[in-house]
């Protein structure tokens, strides 16, 4: 496959359209804009570039949990990136899934009178259902209890063991069952894990196998500082580098007392530490999912900041030990508070994304989650602000503008509309703004750039007032304006498609009808 970037030049300005060509058939298949362009436009420039691969991952979510707002935010961000790259013509692999091993799952299963596998089966489906409800376009849903994954985990760890980076020892310390993590004294707050302040860590002493993490300090620093893999945002990159410079300690990578897990290949009496098992999913999926081997290394790992160390240091060290390529970017987002308070089950303020869909609808929920909080920093979520943004940006913004334009095309243009690529003012500037924002994971900034087009259309409508032009006998001047505004809305539909695919489809469908009619509201006003 190649991508051909064709630029048609009208007498006004340049309009770009990317189409995909199949070399085998030597034919063109317009699959992105699907606009019927006037044949009088002449090709001014042609550039051929080979299709790129793009591999994006979310963390695999722990099956002891149920989908919440944080899970939805990370997964939705990955979905937008995947859709955007597909729209550009890239070959995309989007991976998500569930983390199903470890002490916490084993204990919860026992308490529920279930086997660990039965509990994992039950709860993994909840994540699949949530992602279906959010229209998440993942390519594969991995589960760490899959036999195919376990085979790759054992093979990779055997390579690290054979290379001399794993040794036997005895671990004695405190273990946070909630995090499935050994807790050094320096990370405890008042003797407890800061993320699980209501749980006492468990004192443990057992024979384990250790990974020589300390051997990779200098290599990791060199690769980070050379940009061979990136940690985003810059503040967290600095935190990782600063901690690396303080030195690394070897880490335990097996458990003697946990039955529910992947067996250590050279010692079946031990199970592999759940975090090591989980991290390998990003690589394992490329090895057993058909046709995905060439996608490693991952282009982007998306995750929350609390698990950055595992993803930016421990994972890379394991890959170096196994002589495998490193992921290109590790991008972490901040934490949410709800109305200024930490999201907590005990406070009863955990928001279920399915409840948001019930109140605002699917497309609005996707928009609201990514527009309210910048990806790379901590942010506060408020249902009241969600309602305000729904009304201002969607009901009174995009939805109302689309209704006004289609109404005027029906009323003043007799339903006739012709797309005019040559009059799009914002194609190049918006394209660059959206692309730059998404490369920096600034989803809110990308949406602002797109919605600037809506504000421009609204401003022009108020400036020209077509209803007054009819009274002034200027009807012949109205159709070019209608064509311009309709075309700008098609422009919006293109850019907004990764964020709100159904909305984009509805805009395109409404404006490409044989006769354009005023549409039903895209975003009905909320009942008071």
Query: Which residue, chain included where needed, has tokens 């199949």?
Result: 22
> Which residues, at least 6 apart from 24, have a Cβ–Cβ distance to it below 8 Å?
none
What CA–CA distances, in Å, run from 198 to 173, 175, 177, 190, 191?
19, 14, 12, 11, 11
Tokens 């793009």, residue located: 54
Query: Exposed e or buried b for every residue in 398-436, given b needs 16+ CB within 10 A?
Result: bbbbbbbbbebbbbbbeeebebbbbbbbbbeebeebbee
* Cα 6 to Cα 51: distance, rounded to the nearest angstrom: 15
Other CB atoms within 10 Å distance of the CB of residue 440 = 15
Q: Give all strands of the β-sheet with 27-29 in edge-to-edge order.
A: 27-29, 14-22, 2-9, 42-50
Q: What would the two tokens of residue 358 be?
A: 């019930």
Question: Which candidate in 3, 85, 149, 176 is catalytic?
Answer: 176
| Catalytic site residue from 66, 126, 128, 196 | 196
Return the structure tokens found at 159.
């390579």
Catalytic pick among 205, 243, 293, 342: 342
Neighbours of 278 (CB within 10 A): 26
- For 220, phi and psi rounded to 5 degrees? -65, -45
Residue with tokens 């609808």: 361
> Is 179 assigned a catalytic role?
yes
Q: Are 361 and 373 in contact, with CB atoms under 8 Å apart?
A: no
Please say whether the beta carbons of 255 and 270 come within 8 A. yes
**3 state SS for 345-376:** CCCCCCCCHHHHHHHHCHHHHHHHHHHHCCCC
Find the catalytic residue in 68, 223, 292, 328: 68
Distances (CA, A) of 77 to 211, 264, 333: 33, 35, 10
- Phi–psi pair at 367, nearest 5 degrees: -65, -50
- Cβ proximity of 405 and 457 under 8 Å: yes
Pairwise CA distance, residues 291 & 289, whole Å: 6
**Is residue 47 flagged as an active site residue?**
no
Residue 196 annotated among the catalytic residues of the structure: yes
**Distance separating alpha carbons of residues 364 and 526, to the nearest angstrom:** 12
Exactly one of 85, 149, 179, 181 is catalytic; name it. 179
* Per annotation, catalytic residue among 71, 85, 104, 311: 71
176 is catalytic: yes
3 carries an active-site annotation: no
Active-site choice (3, 85, 193, 301): 193
333 catalytic? Reply is no
Do 504 and 495 touch, CB atoms closer than 8 A? no
Distance CA 121, CA 478 (A): 60
Q: Three-class SS of residue 378? A: coil
DSSP secondary structure of 419-454? --GGG-SSHHHHHHHHHHHHHTT-HHHHHHHHHHHH
Q: Are 37 and 83 in contact (CB under 8 A)?
A: no
CA dihedral 331, 72, 293, 274 (to 10 degrees): 80
Residues involved in catalysis: 68, 71, 176, 179, 193, 196, 342, 345
């Amino acid at each position: 496959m190649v991508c051909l970037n064709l630029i048609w030049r009208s007498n006004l300005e340049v309009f770009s359209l990317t189409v995909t060509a199949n070399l085998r058939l030597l034919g063109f298949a317009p699959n992105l804009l699907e606009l019927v362009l006037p044949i009088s436009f002449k090709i001014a420039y042609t550039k051929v570039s080979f299709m790129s691969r793009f591999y994006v991952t979310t963390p695999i979510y722990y099956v002891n949990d149920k989908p919440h707002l944080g899970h939805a935010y990370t997964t939705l961000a990955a979905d937008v990136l995947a859709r955007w790259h597909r729209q550009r013509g890239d070959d995309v692999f989007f991976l998500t899934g569930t983390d199903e091993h470890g002490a916490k799952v084993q204990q919860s299963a026992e308490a529920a009178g279930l086997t660990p596998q039965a509990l994992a089966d039950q709860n993994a489906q909840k994540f699949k259902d949530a992602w279906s409800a959010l229209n998440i376009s993942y390519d594969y849903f991995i589960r760490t209890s899959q036999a195919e994954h376990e085979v790759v985990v054992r093979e990779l760890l055997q390579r690290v063991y054979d290379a001399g980076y794993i040794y036997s020892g005895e671990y004695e310390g405190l273990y946070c069952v909630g995090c499935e993590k050994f807790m050094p004294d320096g990370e405890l707050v008042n003797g407890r894990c800061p993320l699980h302040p209501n749980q006492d860590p468990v004192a443990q002493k057992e024979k384990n196998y250790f990974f020589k993490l300390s051997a990779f300090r200098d290599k990791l620093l060199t690769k980070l500082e050379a940009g061979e893999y990136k940690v985003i945002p810059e503040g967290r990159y600095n935190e990782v580098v600063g901690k690396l410079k303080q030195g690394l300690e070897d880490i335990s990578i097996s458990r003697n007392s946990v039955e529910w897990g992947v067996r250590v290949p050279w010692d079946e009496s031990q199970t592999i530490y759940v975090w090591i098992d989980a991290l390998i999913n990003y690589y394992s999926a490329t090895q057993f999912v058909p046709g995905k081997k060439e996608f490693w290394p991952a282009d982007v790992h998306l995750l929350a900041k609390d698990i950055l160390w595992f993803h930016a240091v421990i994972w890379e060290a394991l890959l170096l030990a196994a002589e495998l390529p490193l992921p290109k970017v590790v991008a972490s987002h901040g934490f949410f508070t709800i109305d200024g308070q930490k999201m907590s089950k005990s406070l009863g303020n955990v928001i279920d994304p399915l409840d948001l869909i019930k109140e605002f609808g699917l497309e609005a929920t996707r928009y609201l989650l990514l527009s309210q909080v910048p990806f790379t920093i901590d942010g506060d979520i408020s249902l009241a602000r969600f309602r305000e943004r729904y009304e201002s940006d969607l009901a009174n913004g995009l939805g109302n503008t689309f209704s006004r334009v289609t109404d005027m095309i029906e009323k003043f243009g007799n339903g006739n509309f012709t797309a005019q690529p040559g009059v799009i003012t914002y194609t190049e500037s918006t394209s660059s703004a959206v692309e730059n924002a998404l490369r920096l994971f600034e989803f809110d900034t990308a949406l602002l750039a797109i919605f600037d087009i809506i504000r421009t259309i609204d401003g022009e409508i108020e400036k020209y007032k077509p209803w007054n032009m009819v009274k002034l006998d200027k009807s012949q001047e109205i159709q070019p304006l209608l064509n311009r505004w309709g075309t700008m809305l098609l422009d919006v539909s293109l850019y907004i498609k990764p964020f709100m695919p159904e909305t984009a489809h509805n805009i395109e469908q409404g404006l490409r009808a044989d006769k354009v009619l005023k549409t039903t509201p895209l975003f009905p006003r909320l009942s008071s």
